[in-house]
Amino acid sequence: MLPRRALLAAAPAALLCGCESPSRRSAARPPTTPSPSDSPSPSASPSPEPEGEPSGPKPGDTSLEAYLARVPKFGPPPEPDSIHIGGGGSTPWWFRVPTKQKVAFITIDDGGFARMPVARDLIIHAGIPVTMFLNSPAAGNYTDYFKAIKDAGNHVQDHTVTHRNLKGQSYDFQHKEIQDCRDRLEALFGERPWLFRPPFGNYDSTTLKAARDCGMQVSFMWTQTVDTGIVRYQSAQKVVKPGDVMLMHFRPLLAEDLIGALQAIKASGLTPARLEDYVPKPEA
């Protein structure tokens, strides 16, 4: 079980900050590779920047260093409050986490389409807390990529095997999709998922019952989507509210999406937090 307050590791330029123990930070997040300017040659003389030349990343720069420079600064997230999930024969269906704390949550789905190294490295070096809802075949085919993100203090959760629309399907079909994915993800990453997101956000009462029978605590929708760096709000109020869950996907521009989400969270006066800190793994 991860510490309840995970550190958002410091990195060059404007990066997230947090409050995880130094030992956890050093184990989970590799240090940023120094740039050549960190160790200048004794004979090198500094070159003044051209007058009027803007500082910071150049437009169109998609290097890790450029993305890190765009990450807003945040204070540490608050100590997670206690959220009662309740029992019953079905999981609750949440668009957002029921908390008044000034936090929001980043979730990334699927995994089979694109896995850009710069997005992975941005998550790791900037210490961005994310939850990955993965399809099990993608997780199996690209385990090292997702494991690197998980090892930085994040989690892998259930998104079915075949990414089929579950709504209207039989109980047996839905149960198998969820259970088989859960079993496979546990075998790959050593941790059994306890959160679920149905493909496309489509579900019915059978979905929520099957999810509960497979050991899921909560089934999640979302409150904002992010694509090509643009945050798309589900309401007229273009603001991220406490407890909101932001959805993006493993796509070619995921790094842009992460920056867009972080900037929207910052502009709304919130801090990014880890979903699993608010919906912790149930006691065995």
CA proximity to 95, closest of 270, 283, 241: 241
CA distance 77 to 154: 15
Predicted confidence (pLDDT) at residue 200 exceeds the cutoff of 50: yes
Q: Is residue 72 part of a domain?
A: no
- pTM, full prediction: 0.81
Residue 243 CB partners (closer than 8 Å, separation 6+): 96, 97, 98, 99, 100, 101, 103, 104, 105
The position carrying tokens 């936090």 is: 103
Confirm whether 78 is domain-assigned: no
CA count, 13 A, side-chain hemisphere, 104: 26
Is 230 within a domain? yes
Query: Does residue 34 sit within a domain?
Result: no
Pairing between β-strand 218-220 and β-strand 130-134 as defined by DSSP bridges: unpaired
Give residue 15's pLDDT. Answer: 52
Residues 6+ apart with CB under 8 A from 45: none
Task: Give the Cβ contact number of residue 173 at 10 Å.
Answer: 15
State the first-to-last Cα distance of the chain, in angstroms, to the nearest integer.
Answer: 12
Whether residue 152 lies inside any domain: the answer is yes
Give residue 109's domain range: 101-284
So what's the pLDDT on residue 56? 60
- Please say whether the beta carbons of 243 and 96 come within 8 A: yes
**Helix or strand or coil: residue 244?**
strand
Dihedral pair phi/psi, residue 66, rounded to 5°: -65, -40
234 alpha carbon, distance to own chain's centre: 19
pLDDT tens digits along 40-65: 333 344 444 444 444 567 878 999 99
Domain-embedded: residue 167: yes
* CATH number of 226's domain: 3.20.20.370
Q: Which has the closest alpha carbon to 109: 128, 131, 127, 126?
A: 131
Mean pLDDT of 81-108: 95
The pLDDT of residue 48 is 41
24 confidence band (pLDDT: 50, 70, 90): very low
Between 20 and 209, where is the model more confident?
209
User: What would the pLDDT profile of 152-190 be if each residue is shown by its tens digit?
Assistant: 999 999 999 999 999 999 999 999 999 999 999 999 999
In percent, the amount of the chain with pLDDT more than 90 equals 74
Look at the chain and report how many structural domains it folds into.
1
Contacts of 118 (CB under 8 A, 6+ apart): 62, 63, 64, 67, 255
Q: Which amino acid is at 184?
A: R
Q: To the nearest whole percent, how much of the chain has pLDDT over 70?
A: 80
Would you mind telling me the total number of residues written for the chain in this entry? 284
Range of lowest pLDDT (219-223, 232-236, 257-261, 262-266): 232-236
Q: What is the pLDDT of residue 126?
A: 98
Average pLDDT rounded to a whole number, residues 191-196: 98
Q: How far is CA 249 from the centre of its chain?
A: 10
Reply yes or no on whether the pLDDT at 120 is more than 90.
Answer: yes
What integer pLDDT is reported at residue 17 of this predicted model?
54
Would you say residue 128 lies in a domain?
yes
Segments in 90-170 forming alpha helices (H): 117-126, 136-141, 143-150
pLDDT of res. 283? 81
- For residue 226, tell me if it sits in a domain: yes
Residue with tokens 């629309």: 165
